[in-house]
Structure 1
Amino acid sequence: MQPTLTKSVVLTLIGHISAAHLNPAVSVAAIILGKINIPMAVVYILAELSGGIAGFGLLQVVTPDSILRSKSNGSCCALCVTLPHPELSAFQAVLAEGLATSVLILVVCAVWDKRNERNTDSVPLRFGFTVMAIAAAEGPYTGASMNPARSLGPVIWTGVWESHWVYWVGPIVGAVLTAFMYKQVFDRTPAHVSQVTEDDNEQAIPLQSNRHSKELEAERGSDLNITQA
């Protein structure tokens, strides 16, 4: 529940400023869909990774030491570290993260779709519920990270690097394949069609205005003829 509400709040706060990617996988999808260029994506990803590291560092500062450290040997525990289920193979873990990220990216692609531009008011809420549903279904398998930045922060501070690569390969591959599929299958509207539609809309009002002006001129001319008669 907490990650869901957090993402919804952040989307509300900065979604109109930077689109609130919060996730390198989302930024990679944005490159494929033409939303941002590669240099800007690098800036986004660096900011996301830095935010994940700084965020977990702040969490350590405000968290009691008894929670941060194991009572048995005093070593730092894997607080917030995402780890695959012990009975999963590496392939299964990557596949689970990839599928979970694919669902997330499908929602992101739909939100960015031009045909959905007028339905953005409830995006934070819809995105939050999406994350909640995915976490409930996939969480027991790998923790449902779907975000390399979310998984990187804890391992930097705790040093628990076990299976960390899963949380890069799965989400990034899932994001690339899903964004490419969406672009090829669903986002197929020719550019000239949308341009013609926009031009028609822009010309509609002037045409109506010109027609109305001509009608007024004709009426005035008729009134003038009647008066002169």
Structure 2
Amino acid sequence: MLLVTFGAGSVMTDAITGGALGSVGIAATFAIVVTALVTALGHVSGAHLNPAVTIAFWSMRRFPAREVPPYVLAQCAGATGGALLLRAALGRVAQVGATVPHVPVATAFGVELVFSFALFLVIAAVATDARTPPALAPFAVGGTVGLCALQGALTGASMNPARSLGPAVASGTFTAHWLYWVAPIAGMLAAARLFDWLRDTRAHPTSPRGAALGVEGPID
């Protein structure tokens, strides 16, 4: 909910103020809110914030299957609630921050696929390797989100099905909505496979398979 309230809200604020934030300001907003939420909630719930992240961890056998549906439901409900709050407060400005492609759909799919791949590669690295310095995860993940968001003019730089779903529901804008589910999930699944292949789990400490894992490591 907070990711969409602040992130999509920054898109709406930029439209209302005639571009006062700009693309850099919007990207910084997404980076800051993700960093803050991972810092605040990483030790509580893992701070997934993203159905594609949850599914990718499950595919690595690092998140229990029984926890996937409630996590995805919570992510989608929170994002929709945040978007409806924005709609009630500001109206349908900028389509409530909905993500729509501004390039051909095939290109948009590739952009979201690559961004999502990069994001989960970073998440997997900071979450599964005990050699990662403590407290690095929020900045690594938030920074990657912000980096991709700088290219938001192409597709909205969603990388997150829930983040796209909420504003789509609130604004009724479902243009090429399917790609904001398929591309992030496919990209993160691919990154999960690559990271498992690159990393020698026999040589370095790792979280146990099947354990609940968040973006900062095992969930207590």
Q: Note closer, same or farther for the CA distance 1:120–1:33 as it changes in structure 2 (3 Å cut).
A: farther
Q: Note closer, same or farther for the CA distance 1:10–1:184 as it changes in structure 2 (3 Å cut).
A: same
Q: Which one of the candidate residues 122, 130, 134 is aligned to 2:136?
A: 122
Residue 61 (1) aligns with residue 106 (2): no
Deviations 1:197-225 (A, max 9, x none): xxxxxxxxxxxxxxxxxxxxxxxxxxxxx
- Structure 1 length as normaliser, TM-score? 0.73
Residue 146 (1) aligns with residue 159 (2): yes
- The separation in 2 between residues aligned to 1:160 and 1:17, in whole angstroms, is 33
- The separation in 1 between residues aligned to 2:157 and 2:138, in whole angstroms, is 19
- The separation in 1 between residues aligned to 2:106 and 2:59, in whole angstroms, is 25
Q: What is residue 79 of structure 1 aligned with on the other side? A: 96
After superposition, residues 57-206 of structure 1 pair within 5 angstroms as: 57-63=84-90, 65=91, 68=92, 78-85=95-102, 88-117=103-132, 119-136=133-150, 138-186=151-199, 188-190=200-202
- The separation in 2 between residues aligned to 1:171 and 1:37, in whole angstroms, is 20
Deviations 1:47-106 (A, max 9, x none): 10111101111122222x4xx36xxxxxxx622010111xx3222111110000011001
- The separation in 1 between residues aligned to 2:40 and 2:78, in whole angstroms, is 16
Q: Which one of the candidate residues 76, 90, 97 is aligned to 1:49?
A: 76
CA contact (8 A) 1:4 1:132 kept: yes
Q: What is residue 226 of structure 1 aligned with on the other side? A: none
- The separation in 1 between residues aligned to 2:112 and 2:205, in whole angstroms, is 36
Q: What is residue 227 of structure 1 aligned with on the other side? A: none
- The separation in 1 between residues aligned to 2:194 and 2:76, in whole angstroms, is 26
- The separation in 2 between residues aligned to 1:48 and 1:84, in whole angstroms, is 22
Deviations 1:103-132 (A, max 9, x none): 100110011123335x12132122221111
Q: What is residue 38 of structure 1 aligned with on the other side? A: 65
- The separation in 2 between residues aligned to 1:116 and 1:26, in whole angstroms, is 21
| Secondary structure in 1 matching 2:97 | coil
Deviations 1:123-155 (A, max 9, x none): 21222211111111x312111000000000011
CA contact (8 A) 1:29 1:176 kept: yes
Structure 2 gap ranges (5+):
1-27, 207-220
Q: Relative to total residues, which structure has the larger helix share, 1 or 2?
A: 1
Q: What is residue 198 of structure 1 aligned with on the other side? A: none
| Secondary structure in 2 matching 1:144 | coil
* Count of residues paired in the alignment: 179
- The separation in 2 between residues aligned to 1:194 and 1:84, in whole angstroms, is 41
| Secondary structure in 2 matching 1:116 | coil
Structure 1 gap ranges (5+):
70-76, 196-229
Q: CA deviation at 1:194?
A: 5.4
- The separation in 1 between residues aligned to 2:190 and 2:64, in whole angstroms, is 18
Q: CA deviation at 1:33?
A: 2.1
- The separation in 1 between residues aligned to 2:45 and 2:84, in whole angstroms, is 24
- The separation in 2 between residues aligned to 1:151 and 1:194, in whole angstroms, is 36
Give the structure, 1 or 2, with the largest relative contact order (CA under 8 Å, sep 6 or more): 2
Q: What is residue 52 of structure 2 aligned with on the other side? A: 25
RMSD: 1.9
